[in-house]
């Protein structure tokens, strides 16, 4: 029987999957690939960022609410999803920063934090894994830890001596970092909006990113997925506690975003198959080795 292509995306919290790489996942799922999101924490310490959802009954049951939101987003994207079972670390604020909560995800050892992910890899057997860079995409403790455990799991899931009792070894073939907000993308969008005489809602936000000085990764792989931008937006709206539907994320129509920048972008960091850069397919080099 032909083998189905399998893609795994590893994320820190519910809603991360819908703001980073969602249209890519929807495209590959629609094309017949098996797509799984592993969410490392339940997002229990996340703020309520949509004023309409700031209600006592939601705040008191935020973990269950966020699981239900994740389930709606999963259904919209047409993918599978599972939780790794760790507790959200929260985003510490203040000077000096307060200590992280005891038992949270970011305080796990990398070996312990990677254990459920290794088990998921061995069960799902992905050909490709998507995750965050060393900075976590942005420096949230859970995002940084997600990067660490993803790399460790990629390196150990195929080792028969590692993590006994978590299934048969499986070696993924490629790993990518998300390049979710490249400056070039927002420059192209700003140019298009200016040509239309429209305000750029991302101007201040991009300036803050520039000032933060986050590392920039070369875009090695551009996945054309503009057909699925509306699907991704609907999935993001499903996380109603985290996203204000009247906020700036939805201020630009998806048809304009697609015209300015029709791809989602990635940086290839590990490959055990031959491939040529630049790529336009996360499974480049794999389709030739897997009978699909």
Q: What backbone phi and psi angles, to 5 degrees, belong to 289?
A: -105, -15
Residues 10-19: tens digit of each pLDDT: 999 999 999 9
pLDDT confidence of residue 204: 86
With beta carbons less than 8 A apart as the criterion, state whether 104 and 86 touch.
Answer: yes
Q: In which residue are the tokens 């551009």 written?
A: 222
pLDDT at 61 over 60: yes
> Would you say 13 is a known binding-site residue?
yes
pLDDT confidence of residue 1: 60
With beta carbons less than 8 A apart as the criterion, state whether 169 and 160 touch.
Answer: yes
H-type helices in the chain, by residue range?
A: 16-19, 22-30, 56-60, 62-77, 110-124, 141-156, 183-195, 203-212, 229-238, 254-260
pLDDT at 2 over 90: no
Coil, helix or strand for 4? coil
Q: What is the average pLDDT score of the chain? A: 94
pLDDT confidence of residue 220: 98
Residues 106-123: tens digit of each pLDDT: 999 999 999 999 999 999
**Cα angle 126, 129, 133; round to 5:** 165
pLDDT confidence of residue 278: 98
- Domain spans in the chain, listed from the N-terminal domain onward: 6-181+217-271
pLDDT band at 25 (very low <50, low <70, confident <90, very high): very high
Q: Using the 8-state DSSP alphabet, how is residue 284 labeled?
A: T
pTM of the predicted model as reported, rounded to 2 decimal places: 0.95
pLDDT confidence of residue 291: 67
pLDDT at 275 over 60: yes
pLDDT band at 44 (very low <50, low <70, confident <90, very high): very high
With beta carbons less than 8 A apart as the criterion, state whether 64 and 269 touch.
Answer: no
pLDDT at 97 over 90: no
Residues 23-33 have a mean pLDDT of: 98
The 8 Å CB, 24+ separation contacts for 245-251 are 245/50, 247/50, 248/201, 248/202, 248/205, 249/19, 251/201
Residues 158-211: tens digit of each pLDDT: 999 999 999 999 999 999 999 988 989 999 999 999 999 999 998 887 887 777
Nearest to 21 by CA among 117, 126, 105, 137: 137
Nearest to 115 by CA among 86, 142, 87: 86
> Would you say 140 is a known binding-site residue?
no
pLDDT confidence of residue 268: 98
pLDDT confidence of residue 31: 97
Tokens at residue 92, please? 């510490």
CATH node for 6-181+217-271:
3.40.50.10320
pLDDT confidence of residue 216: 84
d(CA 233, CA 74): 13
pLDDT band at 3 (very low <50, low <70, confident <90, very high): confident
> Would you say 16 is a known binding-site residue?
yes
Residues 23-30 have a mean pLDDT of: 98
């Amino acid at each position: 029987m032909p083998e189905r292509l399998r893609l795994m995306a590893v994320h820190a919290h519910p809603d991360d999957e819908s703001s980073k790489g969602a249209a890519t996942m929807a495209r590959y799922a629609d094309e017949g690939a098996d797509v799984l999101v592993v969410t490392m924490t339940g997002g229990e310490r996340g703020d309520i960022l949509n004023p309409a959802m700031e209600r006592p009954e939601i705040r008191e049951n935020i973990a269950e609410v966020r699981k239900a939101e994740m389930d709606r987003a999963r259904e919209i994207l047409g993918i599978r999803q599972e939780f790794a079972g760790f507790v959200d670390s929260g985003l510490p604020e203040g000077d000096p920063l307060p200590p992280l909560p005891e038992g949270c995800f970011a305080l796990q050892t990398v070996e312990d934090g990677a254990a459920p992910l290794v088990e998921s890899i061995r069960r799902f057997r992905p050909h490709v894994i998507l995750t965050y860079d060393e900075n976590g995409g942005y420096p949230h403790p859970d995002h940084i830890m997600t990067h660490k455990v993803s790399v460790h799991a990629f390196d150990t899931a195929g080792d028969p001596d590692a993590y006994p009792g978590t299934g048969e070894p499986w070696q993924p073939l490629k790993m990518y970092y998300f390049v979710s907000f490249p400056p070039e993308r927002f420059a192209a969008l700003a140019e298009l909006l200016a040509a239309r005489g429209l305000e750029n809602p991302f101007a201040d936000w991009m300036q803050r990113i520039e000032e933060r000085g986050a590392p920039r990764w070369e875009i090695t792989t551009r996945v054309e997925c503009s057909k699925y931008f509306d699907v991704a937006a609907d999935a993001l709206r499903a996380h109603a506690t985290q996203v204000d539907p009247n906020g700036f994320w939805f201020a630009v129509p998806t048809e304009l975003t697609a015209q300015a920048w029709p791809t989602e972008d990635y940086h290839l960091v590990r490959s055990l198959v031959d491939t040529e850069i630049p790529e336009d397919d996360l499974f480049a080099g794999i389709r030739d080795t897997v009978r699909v």
